[in-house]
Amino acid sequence: MTLNHLNHVQPPTLLYVAEDQSDTVDVIDLQTNRVVESIPVIAPASVMQSYSLTAYTGANTNSVTLAEPGEDVLYVTNGNLNNIAVVALGGTNAGDHVVGLIPAGWYPNSISLSKDGTWAYVVNAKSPTGANPNWCYNYGPQGYPTCAPANEYNPQLTKAGLQSFQLANAMAQLTTLTNQVTKNNRFSNTSKTGPVMTAVHQGIQHVIYILKENRTYDQILGDLERGKGDPNLALFGQAITPNQHRLALNFVTLDNFRDSAEVSNDGWPWSTSAKAPDVIEHQYPIFYAQRGLSLDSEGLNRNVNVALPTLAERQAANPLMPGGALSPNVEGGEDLLPGQTDLAAPDGPNNEVNTGYLWDAAMRAGLSVRAYGFFVDTTCYNEPSCAIPLAHDPFSSNLIVAHSANVALAPFTDPYFRGFDPSFPDYYRYKEWERDFDTNYAHGALPNLSPVRLMHDHTGNFGTSIDLVNTPDRDQADNDYAVGLLVEKIAHSIYKNNTLIFILEDDAQDGGDHVDSHRSPAYIVGPYVKNQVVSKAYNTIDFLRTIEEVLGLKPMNLNDALATPMSDVFNTVPNLAWTFTATPLAILYCTNLPVPPPMQPCNNPTANSEYWSRVTQGLDFSDADRIDGAAFNRILWKGMMGDKPYPAAPTGIDLSRNREKLLAEYRQAEARARKVNTTTTRNRE
pLDDT at 629: 62
Q: Could you tell me how far CA 8 lies from the centroid of its own chain?
A: 48
| Residue 150 confidence (pLDDT) | 56
DSSP states along 448-482: SEEEEE--GGG---TTT-STT--SHHHHHHHHHHH
Residues in Cβ contact with 13 at an 8 Å cutoff, skipping those fewer than 6 apart: 4, 6, 29, 30, 31
The predicted structure's pLDDT at residue 138: 34
Q: How many C-beta atoms lie closer than 10 Å to residue 515's C-beta? A: 21
What are the residue ranges of helices labelled H in 323-425? 358-364, 379-382
Distance separating alpha carbons of residues 275 and 261, to the nearest angstrom: 9
Cα–Cα distance, 489 to 350 (Å, whole number):
39
CATH architecture of 207-278+347-590: 3-Layer(aba) Sandwich (3.40)
- In angstroms, the CA 219 to CA 650 distance is 13
Q: List, in sequence order, the alpha helices (H) in 289-425.
A: 311-317, 358-364, 379-382
Beta bridge partners, 520, equal: none
Q: What share of the chain is helix, strand, coil (3-state, %, to 5)?
A: 35, 15, 50
Q: What pLDDT score does 668 carry?
A: 80
CB 515 within 8 A of CB 630: no
Predicted confidence at residue 683, as pLDDT, reads: 44
Give the pLDDT of residue 139.
Answer: 34
Q: Is the model's pTM score more than 0.85? A: yes
CA dist 606 and 237 (Å) reads 14
Domain chopping of the chain, boundaries: 2-189, 207-278+347-590
> Distance between CA atoms of 122 and 65, rounded to whole angstroms?
11
Alpha-carbon distances of 582 from 73, 250, 372, 446, rounded to whole Å: 62, 13, 21, 22
CA–CA dist 271, 15 (Å, integer)? 35
417-434: buried (b, 16+ CB within 10 Å) or exposed (e) per residue? bbbbbbbbbbbbbbbbbe
Q: How far apart are CA 444 and CA 78, in angstroms?
A: 46
Question: Within 10 A of 39 (CB to CB), how many other CB atoms are there?
Answer: 23
Question: Distance (Å, rounded) from C-alpha 3 to C-alpha 340?
Answer: 32
The whole-number pLDDT of residue 129 equals: 75
If we measure between CA atoms, which residue out of 517, 571, 503 comes closest to residue 203? Answer: 571
Given this model, what pLDDT does residue 407 score?
Answer: 96
- Residue 569's Cβ-count burial label (10 Å; 0-12, 13-18, 19+) is buried
Note the residue count of the chain.
Answer: 685
pLDDT value of position 622: 64
**What pLDDT shows up at residue 37?**
94
pLDDT along the chain (685 residues), means of 10: 70 93 96 96 94 94 90 94 96 79 97 95 88 41 47 77 97 98 87 87 99 95 95 91 98 97 95 97 88 89 90 83 71 75 95 97 99 96 91 98 97 98 98 99 98 96 94 95 99 99 95 88 98 96 98 97 95 98 93 87 69 74 63 69 61 79 82 55 43
260 touches 270 (CB < 8 A): yes
pLDDT at residue 339, as a whole number: 86
Measure the CA–CA gap between 284 and 293, rounded to whole angstroms.
8
Q: Do strands 206-212 and 499-505 pair parallel, antiparallel, or not at all (unpaired)?
A: parallel
